[in-house]
Structure 1
Amino acid sequence: MFKRLLALIAITTLTMTNVSAQTKDEKAVADAVETLRKAMISAEKATLEGITLDQLSYGHSSGKLEDKKTFVENITNGNSHFLDITLTDQTITVVKETAIVRHKLFANTDDKGKGPGTVNLYILLVWQKNGGKWKLLARQAVKVNP
């Protein structure tokens, strides 16, 4: 019984240490990534515009590049329609006013003119702190090999 109690205390301590290891900026970047994920599903124009910088460079796995205006238009008009997006294996590295986020993205899509589909991608996001808020500056996707 005593050994089980010690094991439980050790596991709880390790878990709390890992959670508290995330810095304030890393947490804020993670929140920004989640806001972007939700806005891409809901196609909320104001949120998409607010979470991205005017200089946005948005790279698709096909090699197609979009600026901020085109990215927002394609999400809001249904050309890029996400039914759901799941992010896994996320890492966040903050260096001063810049953050690098990597994760794996899996999504079900229903893009206008293409019908239902899925995407399985590795994503690199570059965020910049602007006016105290983290904004997306660049994104590049690469297809996950089956």
Structure 2
Amino acid sequence: MFKRLLAIMAISAFTLTNVSAQTKDEKAVADAVETLRKAMVSADKATLESITLDQLTYGHSSGKLEDKKTFVENITNGNSHFLDITLTDQTITVVKETAIVRHKLSANTDDKGKGPRKVELYILLVWQKNGGKWKLLARQAVKVNS
């Protein structure tokens, strides 16, 4: 009986580990998301430019759309100034060379002329593998209803 219980526990542990384990691509996408988050907070122009594709379309919850150049400019000149960003409830789905990421973004911002405020958004990111690296192709935000 004891051996049977140990066997069941071992099989259960193995199954749970496999269900929650990320694939190599999912891990690489998660790392890219984290790199993007840090670059947005630190306004790191070089990283923002290197992790985004030239065809980037960046949608705000207000409906405003930005291309890559405008997105990078607004982060680095303080028009979109993030004091901090926390991401939760993240899911990653990889289909060949494309990845879809969804998460909740909670942040404190101090955008030029708007003063400090708290932002809570649901985010959809589309990443594309380009030259072996994951790069952001599209982003859309939606306001969280309280």
* TM-score, normalised relative to structure 2: 0.90
- Tell me the percent identity: 84
Give the Cα separation in 2 of the matches to 1:13 and 1:122.
33
Give the Cα separation in 1 of the matches to 2:41 and 2:15.
34
Q: CA RMSD in A?
A: 1.8
Q: Structure 2 regions of 5+ residues with no counterpart?
A: none
Give the Cα separation in 1 of the matches to 2:145 and 2:109.
19
Superimposed CA distance per residue, residues 14-38 of structure 1 (whole angstroms, 9 cap, x where no aligned partner): 553344x311000000000000000
Partner of 1:141: 141
Partner of 2:56: 56
Give the Cα separation in 1 of the matches to 2:111 and 2:12.
45
Give, as a single letter, the amino acid of the residue that structure 2 aligns with 1:16.
T
Alignment size in residue pairs: 142
Measure how far apart 1:118 and its partner are.
1.0
Secondary structure of the equivalent of 1:145? coil
Give, as a single letter, the amino acid of the residue that structure 2 aligns with 1:48.
L
Give the Cα separation in 1 of the matches to 2:17 and 2:103.
23
Partner of 1:25: 25
Residues 1:67 and 2:70 are matched in the alignment: no
Give the Cα separation in 2 of the matches to 1:45 and 1:90.
25
- 1:1-146 aligned at under 5 Å gives the runs 13=14, 16-19=17-20, 21-146=21-146
Give the Cα separation in 1 of the matches to 2:108 and 2:16.
32
Give the Cα separation in 2 of the matches to 1:105 and 1:8.
37
Q: Structure 1 regions of 5+ residues with no counterpart?
A: none
Q: Which consecutive segments of 4 or more residues in structure 1 shift more than 6 A?
A: 7-11
Measure how far apart 1:126 and its partner are.
0.3
Superimposed CA distance per residue, residues 116-142 of structure 1 (whole angstroms, 9 cap, x where no aligned partner): 001100000000000000000000000
Give the Cα separation in 1 of the matches to 2:63 and 2:101.
20
Give the Cα separation in 1 of the matches to 2:88 and 2:140.
16
Give the Cα separation in 1 of the matches to 2:12 and 2:83.
37
Give, as a single letter, the amino acid of the residue that structure 1 aligns with 2:18.
T
